Structure formats: C-alpha cells, structure tokens
C-alpha cells in the first residue's frame, strides 16, 4: 500500500440481532490488472460489494472505474486477478447468459433501442414462439406488463422506447436486467441527465429495490449523491484501490483527499470582478421568445461571468443554445460583441465572436474518431490555410499550443478523442471553444461528468478567459459551476425570475431554481 493510502474496509457486517453475516459477497474482485499496451488501466485493483448494499465507486477520470466495470460485467477479462460473483468464479467471457444472470449495467448512454417498443426492448432476442416460427406478441406484451408491474415501473409496454424520457428509459433498463435474474446492478452516472425531482424518484426506487435484495454499484462524480444514497464507498486513484469505508464514517474532506491524493485545501477565494463597464457588452439579449422560454432579456459585460441557473425544463439550456445559433428564437434579438448574427446559425455566432462548450460532449462536443488536433481546430479553418487548403503544420502548431494550455493528457495530437478520459475530452471541447480568442464564451454544464481535479482546472480556465476581457455565460444547475459568477440569473418555467449577486447561500439559489420563495 503506497503512502497516503488507507483501507478502512470493514469485516463481515453484523445483521439483525447482532449475528455475523456469513453470506458470500455479491462481488469480490481482487488483484485486478488490466493493460492496454504501455497503459496500465488497473493495477492490483480490488472491490468487495455485499448483499443489499448500495456501494459507491468514485475517483477522478482515468482512475480505472470504467475498466473495472467492463471486467465486472464480463466485457473483457483481466490480465491478472480474480472475480467472484456470489462466492463462485465469474463465468467465461463467452457465457453471456451466465453474466446477464448475475450482473447488469445501466450506462450513462442508454442501450434502449428507440425504434422498438418497451416490450420488444425488454425481451429482445428472447421473445419465444407461439406456433412454428411466429412470435406470440400478445404473450410478449403480457410478460412485459407483468415484469414492469413486478418492479413498479409505470410504463406502457406498447410505447415506443424513443418516446420515453431519460428517467423512464433507466427504469426500463433496470427492469430488463432484473428479468434475466441479475440482482446486482451497476448504475453509471445515472443522474447526469435528470433534474432534482427525477433524481429523488430514482433514489426512492433504488431504496425500494435494495429492500427487495437488489445490490447496486453506484458510479457518480456528484459526491453529495454518494452521501445521500450509498452505504459504502470505494475510491480508486491512479488505476488502483485507495480506500473503502462506510459512507457515514467518512468526512467529505477525507473523501476528496482520497480522490485527489492531496489534502483538502481551503475554500477557493472569491474571485475579483474583472467586469469592464466601459467596454461594449459581450452579449445583449432582448425580449427573446421561443417554445422553451419567453421574454428573456439579459446582458453580459466584457470581463463579466454571468450564471444562467435553473432546473431541467427551466429554459436555461435553450436560451444558451439560441445565443450560439443552435436554436432560432421566434422573436427577440441577440447581439454578440455588438454584432447581430443571423439567427439559428452557429457559424454566424462564431464569426461574431462566440466560443461554445455544449451540453453533451459525446453528441455535440467532438467527433470521436477524429484526432485531438482536428477536433481542437474544427472551428478555426481560416487560421489553418487559405482557399480551403489546410496546413497540417499550422494545425499541429495550434493544436500543440491548445493541448499545453488546457493540460490535455495525451501522448500526441493525433490520438483519437475517443481514447481520452472524460475530463480530457472536455478539455479538448474547451480548447476548441477558446481557439479563436472569443469575445463571448458560452458554456452549458461545463463540468458534467468530469472529476474533481478536472472541474477545478476547467473553471480556472473560465476565470482566465474573463480576466482576458471576454464575457462568459454559464448555463448550469451545478452550484460549483456558478460560484465564480459575478451574478446569477435564475430561470423558472421559461422566464428569468431572480437575479442573485455573488456571495449567495446554496439554499437561496436552490429555492429560486425550484420556484420557492423562502421569504414569502
């Protein structure tokens, strides 16, 4: 065990009446090593998860969490080490039914097929046959309804899966996993796309299933969720196990220190305002109206950081996307650094001086099979050559500068972005947003799905951007994203309802986001 590591993994937990539990762990992985060429993704990693627990697995991006999940679900074999499920050795990789009967993973990116019904998704490739080769669809729908009712999933089995919201898709995936017989479910960033009410319902469902004997491995970057829903927590860092402890026994400062390898520092000092009131506004929005928002008026000064807060469905994301041309408003106007770009045109917004970090890096932020260099310079072809001819030398020079500026951890600029960890992928997206020295930087949930260290780094770059004289608009429901803001505008049901100056208390901002007046 290296310096700074400690393990406070408890022994067998006492059950009711003080008896010592003798049942084998649901999962026991020990000495797991996994290499990809010279990269060591797991180095002697271990985890033990007991029956009925909700067990958190946390760590910075690149710590080895995703690799461990692939080993625990039988997608790949470890180079060294053993995995036992329910006290027995894990099945062979080729025995897919054996794995499905023991473990399932509900991934952040849904595996539900949108063009099939809920019933078809639940029993894909195991419909059964009525006569000859015909599928008995009535029986499939009946089985689907029985399954959904058993696990209290309120979804019509004949509904097309593409019509379900994120929360419903997650519940359907959990029901599908349980239908194979698995009673160990891995939840990979399950709250990333849910609002507060949906998160509460998910947690209620987890607790209910836990009482019925289902065991969960809960993977999240949101540490407050770990303290709310989990019994145990395991920390990975640098491809190995650092700590396992009961959540109730582990202070938040110690958990963060275990994840980062550093003692928790003092709270970051409040940033000095860099607003230049004498310069033209970086952004001016007047009377903006559309399907998701109404009569939105706001301004971001040069050097100012303004937050646009609100729960899911508040309209904050749609307003930010309208500013950068991903959407077109029905009425109102947008001016970026004094110029009014053509509505609904991203190139026009970029030409006016905008830089943009979208909400979903996987679908909007980068092209996964393209290199880091190409992704980082996608928005600035004019700086790479003339008449449609791009200079590889110019591209590599600019990309190298951005890789250094954003501290992207990579062996070289030609590596595909898909090979990077989540935090480094987000750094590439930020690099592209900053490539043309924008007058206005617009960010939507800029630290979603990234680790603590990457979050601090990215937010530090946002501050540097404001200090350079650019305006910044951050649309987010993450309080940590909003703390640096000079002021926060809160949206509720499509309208800006509150403006809160710096120095706010969490409960005041959350109440405003939920439409609650604490002073009424």
Listed by start position, the domains of the chain span 16-112+164-260, 283-368+439-513
Measured in residues, the chain has a length of 520
Q: What is the DSSP letter of 266?
A: P
Q: Are strands 354-357 and 440-444 parallel, antiparallel or unpaired?
A: parallel
* 283-368+439-513 matches 16-112+164-260 in CATH topology: yes
Residues in a beta bridge with 299: 284
CA–CA distance, 90 with 144 (Å, rounded to integer): 29
Task: Give the pLDDT of residue 368.
Answer: 83
Task: Give the pLDDT of residue 337.
Answer: 94
CA–CA distance, 336 with 472 (Å, rounded to integer): 11
CA–CA distance, 502 with 235 (Å, rounded to integer): 33
Phi, psi of 519, deg, nearest 5: -105, 5
Task: Give the pLDDT of residue 245.
Answer: 95
Per-residue pLDDT of the chain (520 residues; tens, 9 = 90+): 443 444 454 443 433 444 445 789 999 999 999 998 877 899 999 999 999 999 999 887 678 998 999 999 999 999 999 999 999 999 999 998 899 889 988 887 778 888 888 888 888 877 665 555 677 778 888 888 888 888 878 888 888 988 888 888 888 888 888 888 889 999 988 886 777 778 888 898 899 889 888 999 999 877 778 899 999 999 998 899 999 999 999 987 788 788 877 554 434 456 678 888 888 999 999 999 998 999 999 999 999 999 999 877 789 999 999 999 999 999 999 999 999 999 999 999 999 999 999 988 877 778 888 888 887 887 677 666 676 666 777 777 888 888 888 888 888 788 888 888 888 888 888 888 888 899 999 999 998 878 778 888 899 999 999 999 999 999 998 888 998 999 999 998 899 999 999 888 777 887 788 776 655 4
Other beta carbons within 10 angstroms of residue 110's beta carbon come to 17
CA–CA distance, 499 with 151 (Å, rounded to integer): 43
Q: Cα dist. 422→366, 453, 455 in Å?
A: 12, 12, 11
Task: Give the pLDDT of residue 374.
Answer: 81
Q: What is the DSSP letter of 49?
A: E
CATH, domain range 283-368+439-513: 3.40.50.300
CATH, domain range 16-112+164-260: 3.40.50.300
CA–CA distance, 86 with 68 (Å, rounded to integer): 17
Task: Give the pLDDT of residue 3.
Answer: 39
């Amino acid at each position: 065990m290296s310096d700074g590591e400690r393990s406070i993994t408890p022994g067998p937990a006492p059950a009711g009446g003080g008896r010592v539990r003798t049942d084998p762990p649901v999962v026991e992985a020990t000495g797991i090593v996994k290499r990809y060429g010279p990269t060591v993704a797991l180095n002697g990693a271990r985890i033990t998860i007991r029956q009925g627990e909700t067990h958190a697995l946390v760590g910075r991006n690149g710590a080895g969490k995703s690799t461990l999940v692939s080993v625990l679900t039988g997608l790949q074999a470890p180079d060294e080490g053993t995995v036992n499920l329910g006290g027995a050795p894990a099945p062979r990789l080729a025995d897919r039914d054996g794995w499905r009967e023991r473990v399932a993973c509900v991934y952040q990116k849904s595996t539900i097929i949108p063009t099939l019904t809920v019933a078809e998704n639940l029993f894909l490739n195991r419909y059964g046959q009525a006569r000859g080769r015909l599928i008995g669809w009535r029986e499939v729908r009946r089985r689907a309804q029985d399954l959904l009712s058993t696990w209290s999933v309120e979804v019509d089995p004949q509904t097309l899966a593409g019509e379900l919201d994120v929360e419903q898709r997650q519940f359907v995936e959990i029901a599908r996993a349980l239908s194979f017989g698995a009673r160990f479910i891995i939840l990979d960033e399950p709250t990333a796309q849910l609002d507060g009410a949906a998160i509460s319902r998910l947690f209620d469902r987890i607790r209910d299933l836990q009482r019925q004997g289902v065991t969960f491995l809960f993977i999240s970057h949101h540490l407050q969720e770990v303290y709310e829903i989990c019994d145990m927590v395991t920390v990975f860092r640098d491809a190995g196990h650092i700590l396992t402890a009961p959540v109730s026994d582990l202070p938040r400062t110690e958990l963060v220190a275990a994840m980062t390898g550093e003692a928790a520092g003092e709270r970051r000092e409040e940033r000095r305002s860099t607003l230049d009131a004498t310069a033209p506004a970086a952004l001016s929005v007047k009377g903006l109206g559309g399907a998701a928002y109404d009569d939105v008026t706001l301004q971001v000064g040069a050097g100012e950081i303004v937050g646009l807060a609100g729960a899911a469905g508040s309209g904050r994301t749609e307003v930010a996307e309208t500013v950068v041309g991903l959407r077109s408003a029905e009425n109102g106007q947008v001016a970026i650094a004094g110029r009014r770009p053509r509505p609904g045109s991203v190139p026009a917004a970029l030409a006016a001086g905008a830089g943009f970090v979208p909400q979903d890096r996987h679908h909007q932020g980068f092209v996964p099979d393209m290199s880091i260099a190409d992704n980082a310079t996608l928005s600035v072809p004019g700086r790479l050559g003339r008449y449609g001819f791009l200079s590889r030398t110019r591209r590599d020079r600019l990309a190298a500068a951005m890789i250094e500026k954003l501290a992207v951890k990579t062996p070289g600029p030609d590596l595909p972005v898909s090979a990077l960890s989540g935090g480094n992928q987000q750094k590439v997206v930020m690099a592209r947003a900053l490539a043309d020295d924008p007058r206005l930087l617009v960010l939507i949930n800029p630290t979603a799905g990234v680790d603590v260290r990457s979050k601090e780094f990215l937010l530090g770059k946002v501050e540097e951007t404001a200090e350079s004289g650019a305006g910044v608009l951050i649309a987010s429901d993450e309080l940590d994203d909003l703390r640096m803001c000079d002021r926060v505008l809160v949206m509720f049901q499509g309208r800006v309802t509150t403006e809160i100056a710096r120095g706010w208390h969490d409960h005041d901002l959350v109440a405003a986001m939920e439409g609650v007046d604490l002073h009424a």
